[in-house]
Amino acid sequence: MTNRLVLVRHGESEWNKKNIFTGIRNPDLTDKGVIEAVWAGRVLKGEGLHFDIAFTSKLKRAQHTLDIILGEIGGETPAVFEDAALNERDYGELSGLNKEEARARWGEEQVLTWRRSYEIPPPGGESLKDTAARVQPYYIKNIWPHVAAGKNVIIAAHGNSLRALIMYLEQLSETQILDRELATAAPQVYRLDESGVVAEYRELVRSEGRDSGMG
C-alpha cells in the first residue's frame, strides 16, 4: 500500500493561546493558528499529497484547520465527514479554566494527575481511556476501510483524540502514550500495511517544535 493516512492536530486556538483547558468547548483559531494551518497545507502539497476523503470533529477549530489545509492543497475537494467521536477529550469542570485557576481550586498535584493519567478523569469529564473508547472504534469502522481501499485520508482533530488514535495505530502502551505530544498543525504522515500496521511514519514539524496543549 502506497497511500497515506495523515493526522493533523488543529492550529493554535484562542484558548490555547490563553493556556485554558478547552476540551469540547468551541473557540476558533487565532491568527497564529490560521498561519499554522496554512503552513500544514503547503507542506502537504509540497509532499505531493492530495486526499480522497477527510474526517474531522464537530468543533470549529479542527474544521477550520481542515478547510485551510484543503484550500492550500487545491484541486478537487474531497468528501468531508464530521463526527463527535473525534472531538477533543472532555475536561469537565476544568473546561474554561487556565492552569493557575485549576491549581488554586484543586491543587497542583491533583490537576497534574488529571492531565497525565490514562484512566483518571477530571470531575465531569473524560480520561484518555474514555476518549480512546470512542475514537478507536470510530476509526476501525469508518476510517480504516477507506485506508484499506487505497485512499489517501486526512483526519483533522485534537491533541487527545489523535493521541488515542496514535496509541492504536502504533500499538503503544498506556504509559508510552502519556509521553506523546503533538505540535499544533504538524502533520503526522503514516503508511500502513494491509493489516493496518504502521509500515512508515514521519512527522512534519515547524521549527518552533512541539506543544502538548490542553485541547
Give the pLDDT confidence of 9-20 residue by residue, as tens digits.
999 999 999 999
Question: For residue 125, is pLDDT > 50?
Answer: yes
Amino acid letter for position 164: A
Q: How far apart are CA 185 and CA 66, in angstroms?
A: 10
Domain total in the chain: 1
Pairing verdict, β 53-56 and 188-192: unpaired
Domain that holds residue 86: 5-203
Residue with cell 490542553: 214
Q: Which residues are catalytic?
A: 10, 88
| pLDDT category of residue 55 using cuts at 50, 70 and 90 | very high
Question: What pLDDT does 1 receive?
Answer: 84
- pTM higher than the cut 0.75: yes
- What is the CATH classification number for the domain harbouring 122? 3.40.50.1240
Q: How far apart are CA 153 and CA 190, in angstroms?
A: 10
Contact 215, 22 (CB under 8 A): yes
Average pLDDT for 8-32:
96
209 part of a folded domain:
no
Give me the mean pLDDT over the 128-132 stretch. Answer: 98
